[in-house]
Amino acid sequence: MTTSIKDVALLAGVSVATVSRALGNGPVSPTLRAKVEAAVVQCGYRPNLSARRLRSQHTRTVGLIVSDICNPFFTAVGRAVEDVAYRAGMRVILCNTDENPDKEAMYLRLMQEERVSGVIFAATRATADALDTAELGFPVVMIDRAGAAARCDAVLLDNRLAAAQLVEHLLERGYRRIGGLFGNTSSTGAERHAGFAEALQRAGLPVAARFVAPSAAAAQAELAAWLREAAPPEALVASNGLLLLGAAKAVRAAGVAVPQRLALAGFDNDSWTELAEPGMTVIEQPVEEIGRVAMEMLLERLRQPERPPRKVVLAGRLVARGSSLARA
């Protein structure tokens, strides 16, 4: 039997209401407050958060739903979310969906049962478009991927611009036959593809883009096949860290010289991109900021439920490395 507020009240010689008020910030005379505090330490009382949540009707809990926390991008974002959350006295429930809409639906239902205060969500395209935030019962902040119709807060990268920047960087360095590898489940992949295609069209060049499942293995297989085709690209853009990793593995396995036979560029300044020869050219996303801002927006929304939804668009930073050296 664990000790409850009743035991504390008995020990301190006051009512349970007084104990509750002393522990919270209710009006209690200094005398009784001291008595209560003494009783609390004496019997090692720990409040029961389930009871507190049930009665007070707010759980101080947020859900963080991402595809896979093992993706360094989400790892870093998640860490930032948690830091801000815990500092604000909130708990975080982490959910990995593996880009699977069924799992997304399941976890959203779970969030309802948990009566979470809100959710930070990197949704699949299908789910993002269909999301009805009104009937969900809690506010949602989208990250990384935008919802089409979803009238909710979001913090995003300027994906079109970033992808276009990569293409222009490669053009500047003298590359012409530029291929692209994009994830096929998220709106992010689509947006980056759009920026990629626009930049190439502006330059009057053909657009060679392929869509794959968002995993390193899929990217590796796709690029390996591509390199065996008749006219492989001179440079490749990969639309996220996982795909870039797969691409790097494929070129290494095929013994293709980077950047002499194939230049590489992509997204996410993961730690390996600096170490892998000759260094990967990437768009670095402000991962810590994305997580922090998302959580702050959620807290803000909880304070002002009726505030109009806001989208924060952050800029990526081009980190040029050896994988896109100027063409000889």
Partner DNA sequence: ATGGCATGAGAAAACGTTTTCAATCGATAG
Partner DNA sequence: CTATCGATTGAAAACGTTTTCTCATGCCAT
Q: 3-state class of 137 per DSSP?
A: coil
102 binds a copy of itself (CB under 8 A): no
Q: How far is residue 82 from each of residues 41, 56, 63, 88, measured CA to CA in Å?
A: 29, 23, 10, 10
Contacts 24+ apart (CB under 8 A), 79-83: 79/288, 79/291, 80/287, 80/288, 80/289, 80/290, 80/291, 80/292, 80/295, 81/120, 81/291, 81/292, 81/294, 81/295, 83/292
218 binds a copy of itself (CB under 8 A): no
275 binds a copy of itself (CB under 8 A): yes
29 binds DNA (CB under 7 A): yes
42 binds DNA (CB under 7 A): no
Burial class (CB in 10 A: 0-12, 13-18, 19+), 301: buried
31 binds, among a copy of itself, DNA, none (CB under 5 to 8 A by kind): DNA
CB 176 within 8 A of CB 233: no
21 binds, among a copy of itself, DNA, none (CB under 5 to 8 A by kind): DNA
Binding residue (CB under 8 A) for a copy of itself from 113, 132, 229, 306? 113
326 binds, among a copy of itself, DNA, none (CB under 5 to 8 A by kind): none
24 binds, among DNA, a copy of itself, none (CB under 5 to 8 A by kind): DNA
Per-residue tokens: 74: 């989400």
CB 211 within 8 A of CB 221: no
- Footprint of DNA on this chain (CB under 7 A)? 1-2, 4-6, 13-21, 23-24, 26-29, 31-32, 45-48, 51-52, 54-57
- Footprint of a copy of itself on this chain (CB under 8 A)? 2, 46-51, 53-54, 59, 68-70, 72, 75-76, 78-79, 82-83, 86, 91-96, 109, 112-115, 137, 216, 245, 248-249, 252, 270-272, 274-277
